[in-house]
Structure 1
Amino acid sequence: MTESDTSIAGSDAAHQAEQLRAWLKARAPFHRFQAEEVTRHLTRCVEEWGVSQRWTARREAPSCAKPAEGRPPRQGYLDVKFYRPGMSAVAVEIDRGNKRWSLEKLEAEAANGACALWLRWSARPSTISPPAGVGLVELRVLRHRRPGNQPQLYSLA
């Protein structure tokens, strides 16, 4: 991928990240969900966003990323991958935390020409920045602590 291609992919990622952020804020509110429910809900909403643009969605799509040197070999999967007619694919990872493997997968997808988006939901700001060419969609949530060993609940802020 040339420097010009990287710049175009990066601007597409920034644009699509802003579009997805607006879509989620308007159409994906949630209140007092457990962590797994939040991720399922956001995955469904991301899929609806892409399909509304007439893109073909695939959940758990294989990634082109390979684990870093010294890590055991494994196949990486993307949470959602969209195929856009006549355009590059859109690769999306959805995380509650700062998962380096997610960013490595997205970086590899961007280097391969895809529009790469990292949807991160958390009560705290990310402690790691996405690499160049990866668009960040950061959703702030409120954490509702519960007594004992009950799972925490989350609401869109």
Structure 2
Amino acid sequence: MTAFFTNSAAAWAIDQGYEVQWEVNLPTATRRGRTGRLDVQLRHRSGTGRPISIEVDRGTKAWSLDKLVQAAELGHLAL
């Protein structure tokens, strides 16, 4: 299911003019000495707008939420 959602989001984003990056390291996210990785990050080819950070996971995983909070603190739109 994760692959389905991430691939669907990536296909939509490319059609909308975004560049897609997979498994993007967050500079601030650490857990037990690990760097957090977001599933997908989108940046518009025009260079305008904020990056969009996407994490696809169960809603009950605190680590996933922590990564999205940190992405938002960096100024990203976090989904």
Conserved? CA contact 1:78–1:93, under 8 Å: yes
Shift of 1:66: 2.5
Any unmatched runs of 5+ in structure 2? none
Shift of 1:87: 1.1
Superposed, 1:4-153 pairs within 5 Å as: 38-67=1-30, 71-84=31-44, 85-117=47-79
CA–CA separation in structure 1 for the residues paired with 2:23 and 2:29 = 16
* Secondary structure in 2 matching 1:88: coil
CA RMSD of aligned residues (A): 1.3
Any unmatched runs of 5+ in structure 1? 1-37, 118-157
Conserved? CA contact 1:59–1:79, under 8 Å: yes
CA–CA separation in structure 1 for the residues paired with 2:73 and 2:59 = 23
- More strand by proportion, 1 or 2? 2
Q: Highest Rg: 1 or 2? A: 1
TM-score (norm 1): 0.46
Give the number of aligned pairs.
77
The letter for the 2-side match of 1:102 is: S
Partner of 1:153: none
CA–CA separation in structure 2 for the residues paired with 1:112 and 1:81 = 13
* Aligned-residue identity in percent: 32
TM-score (norm 2): 0.87
